[in-house]
Amino acid sequence: MDQLLAPGQRRARADARRSFDALLRSARDVFAEFGVDAPVREIAARAGVGLGTVYRHFPSRADLIAAVFRQEMDACADAAAILASQNSPFDALAKWMQRFAALVATKRGLAKALHSGDPAFEVLRGRFEQRLRPAFRSLIDAAVAAGEVRAGIDADELLNAVRSLSMSIHEDRPDHAGRMVALFIDGLRFGVRN
């Protein structure tokens, strides 16, 4: 299809894609630093684009938040297979759980936004079910099969526990959630015979 476009049209599409990608990177960083209620002007400035470009790609703040979180969820889900190919089952599970914890911890204000009733966030629940939950289950199943963590672990309860630990009130100590999740992960080995 690009073959039918004039050279100027291809350049415009490439520029639009670069602007879109820059906006997502900028929004991710700004949300991590200031929360999801951060000024859109700050996001545009860091991306090197005007406010019109932001609203052309994302008509509402909710659309931008959803796009950033969707991209982050996909990256976290994709990491499961990579970690599994490069680590023991337990280490892959532990590293992925830390990544998931970081995903939750750096999205300050996201929980409130997700429960706002805005239709832009509806797709995120399905994305979690389709991408993150199966990625996690593959890692936990592999670790159990390898005898590296105890059997009988409910994957959903475990994800919810990590999410709760990651949304702690210790925002003044950003490493707190990671340390708590590490302790929690170590507990998965309790009762495993070596």
Q: Which CATH superfamily is domain 61-194 in?
A: Tetracycline Repressor, domain 2 (1.10.357.10)
Q: What is the pLDDT of residue 186?
A: 82
Distance of alpha carbon 138 from alpha carbon 93, whole angstroms: 9
Determine the length of the chain. Answer: 194
Q: Report yes or no: 38 and 30 within 8 Å, Cβ to Cβ.
A: yes
Q: What is the pLDDT of residue 11?
A: 56
Q: What is the pLDDT of residue 25?
A: 94
Q: Where in the chain is the domain with CATH 1.10.357.10?
A: 61-194
- Give the CATH architecture of domain 1-59: Orthogonal Bundle (1.10)
Q: Report yes or no: 121 and 62 within 8 Å, Cβ to Cβ.
A: yes
| C-alpha triplet 69, 73, 76: angle, nearest 5° | 140
Q: Where in the chain is the domain with CATH 1.10.10?
A: 1-59
Mean pLDDT by 10 residues, the chain (194 residues): 49 76 92 87 95 92 89 93 97 94 72 71 80 93 93 85 71 69 80 61
Q: What is the pLDDT of residue 2?
A: 47
Q: Is the dihedral of CA 142, 145, 148, 150 positive or negative?
A: positive
What's the pTM? 0.78
pLDDT one-digit tens code per residue, 137-158 = 999 999 999 999 988 888 888 8
Q: Count Cα atoms within 13 angstroms, Cβ side, for 192.
A: 18
